[in-house]
Amino acid sequence: MLSSRLEPFTYTPAEVLELEKPQGPEFLKTLNRYDLCVIGGGGLYSKFFLPLNAQVIKSIETPIVLYGIGYIRNLGDKELTDAQIESARLLNARAKLTSVRDEYTCKFLRDLGIRDVHVIGDPAIFLGSEETSQVALDKNKIKIGVNMASHYWTLYPQYLDKTIDEYVKACEFLVKRLDAEIVYLIHHSDEHHVVEVMREKKFPLKVVDTSPNPYKMKFIYGKLDLVIGMMMHSTVLAFGSGVPIVNVAYDAKNYNFMEFIGQGDKVIDVREANSKKISDLAIRTLDDSKNIKGGFKALKRELWRRQEDFLTKIKEL
Domain ranges of the chain: 16-119, 143-298
pLDDT at res. 283: 98
pLDDT, tens digit (0-9, with 9 covering 90-100), for 201-217: 999 999 999 999 999 99
pLDDT, tens digit (0-9, with 9 covering 90-100), for 245-274: 999 999 999 999 999 999 999 999 999 999
Q: What is the mean pLDDT of residues 79-97?
A: 97
Sheet holding 267-269, edge to edge: 206-208, 181-185, 143-146, 226-229, 245-249, 267-269
pLDDT, tens digit (0-9, with 9 covering 90-100), for 159-194: 999 999 999 999 999 999 999 999 999 999 999 999
Domain spanning 143-298: CATH 3.30.420.40 = no
Angle between helices 232-240 and 252-260 (to 10 degrees): 10
| Residue length of the chain | 317
Q: Based on the number of CB atoms within 10 Å of its own CB, is 223 exposed (0-12), middle (13-18) or buried (19 or more)? A: middle
User: At 34, is the pLDDT very low, low, confident or very high (cuts 50, 70, 90)?
Assistant: very high
- Say whether pLDDT at 73 is over 90: yes
